[in-house]
């Protein structure tokens, strides 16, 4: 959050941290409500990008499977769960 431009950071804090309305934020900063919306949108986008860049590399080893292997494992788990249900266990 510290890396956000000051104008974006201020709007982000007022709206998402302090939970002020758009109108309250605009009045305090002497901005138009449209400007507050734009700055908040851009602040959130920049934060998403920064968070993605920071944590994306950390998740590569957490879920090492993908694609067909992932589907195969999921299908096997679902099949086992379906096979282990007994009459009266919630199935009609």
The yes-or-no verdict on residue 65 having pLDDT over 60 is no
Burial status of residue 43 (CB atoms within 10 A of its CB: 0-12, 13-18, 19 or more): buried
Structure confidence at residue 92 (pLDDT): 46
Count CB atoms within 10 A of the CB of residue 9. Answer: 17
Better-scored residue on pLDDT, 70 or 42: 42
Distance CA 76, CA 84 (A): 12
Q: What is the 3-state secondary structure (H, E, C) of 15-76?
A: HHHCCCCHHHHHHHHCCCHHHHHHHHHHHHHHHHHHHHHHHHHHHCCCCCCCHHHHHHHHHH
Distance CA 14, CA 20 (A): 6
Better-scored residue on pLDDT, 33 or 78: 33
Average pLDDT over residues 63-88: 72
Domains in the chain, start-ordered, CATH in brackets? 6-83 (1.10.10.10)
Q: pLDDT for 29-59, tens place per residue? A: 999 999 999 999 999 999 999 888 877 766 6
Q: What is the pTM of this model?
A: 0.61
């Amino acid at each position: 959050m510290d890396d956000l431009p000051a104008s974006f950071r201020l709007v982000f804090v007022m709206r998402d941290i302090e939970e002020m309305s758009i109108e309250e934020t605009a009045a305090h900063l002497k901005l138009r409500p449209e400007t507050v919306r734009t700055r908040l949108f851009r602040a959130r986008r920049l934060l998403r990008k920064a968070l993605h860049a920071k944590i994306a590399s950390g998740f590569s080893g957490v879920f090492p499977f993908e694609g067909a292997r992932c589907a195969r494992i999921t299908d096997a788990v679902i099949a086992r769960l379906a096979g282990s249900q007994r009459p009266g266990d919630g199935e009609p």
